Amino acid sequence: MNPNEVADGGVDKRLRCYACGEVHESARLVRTVDGREMGNYSANWFLYNEAWWVLKKYRSRRTRQEYLGKVRENRGEGQMQRLRDEMLLLWQWKEGQKK
């Protein structure tokens, strides 16, 4: 474990819930398909899952861009960029698996 990931009290800060900041009993580290590790209550985990959901549900570039436009309207430019970057990362990983 990276020493930068340990929060006060010796608890891996990746396990902290993004909503309440607590470490839930069922919190655990999960490994994504592209090899990253993150807590299953973290903001990164929710972002990762939303990105996969968008890639599966909205199959065309146009519909994905429409979804991202709605994210921009509701959550702002920064959150839209984070989601778009995560979608791009997963799409590139998926395309690399086809080769």
Summarised one tens digit per residue, pLDDT across range 40-96 is: 999 999 999 999 999 999 999 999 999 999 999 999 999 999 999 999 999 999 888
- Which SS3 state, helix, strand or coil, does residue 53 take? helix
- Which SS3 state, helix, strand or coil, does residue 42 take? coil
Sorting pLDDT into bands at 50, 70 and 90, what band is 37? very high
* Cα–Cα distance for residue pair 60/43, rounded to 1 Å: 26
